[in-house]
Amino acid sequence: MRTDRKRRCRLGAAVEKKCEADFKSGLNAAQAQAYQRELRVCDRKYRNKSGTMYLSFTAFCRAEVARRYSHHALKAAGRNAR
């Protein structure tokens, strides 16, 4: 079970990195700041919790934020969103 949670954390980080490739370079300063703020919300959400389950929740939250930004960027560019 513990290995599965670690795998999900790594998967979440991979999703975050892949999605960021779609939009990060196109963000202006305010948008980049908003993105970082949303990631910090994910980090703070479970910061006082211990255990790999909460690491997995944090990773999933961050991946979802990145996926949402990617979706909007691809949609604005007229490309198929993931």
pLDDT per residue as tens digits for the range 24-79: 999 999 999 999 999 999 999 989 998 888 988 999 999 999 999 999 999 988 87
Structure tokens given for 77 = 């560019």
Q: Please report, for residues 6, 8, 9, the alpha-carbon distance to residue 3 in angstroms, rounded to integers and kept in the order given.
A: 5, 9, 10
Is residue 71, in this structure, part of any structural domain at all?
yes
Q: ∠ at Cα 21 (80, 35), nearest 5°? A: 100
82 inside domain: no
The confidence score (pLDDT) of residue 2 equals: 58
- Which is more confidently placed, 68 or 8? 68
Residue 60: Cβ-neighbour burial (10 angstroms; 0-12, 13-18, 19+): middle
For residue 7, pLDDT over 80 is answered with no
- The whole-model pTM stands at 0.84
Query: So what's the pLDDT on residue 77?
Result: 86
Q: What is the per-residue pLDDT for 11? A: 82
Residue 81 lies in a domain: no
What span, in angstroms and rounded, lies between the C-alpha atoms of 2 and 44?
Answer: 22
Output DSSP code: residue 49.
Answer: -
Q: Write out the residue range of the structural domain in which residue 46 sits.
A: 2-76
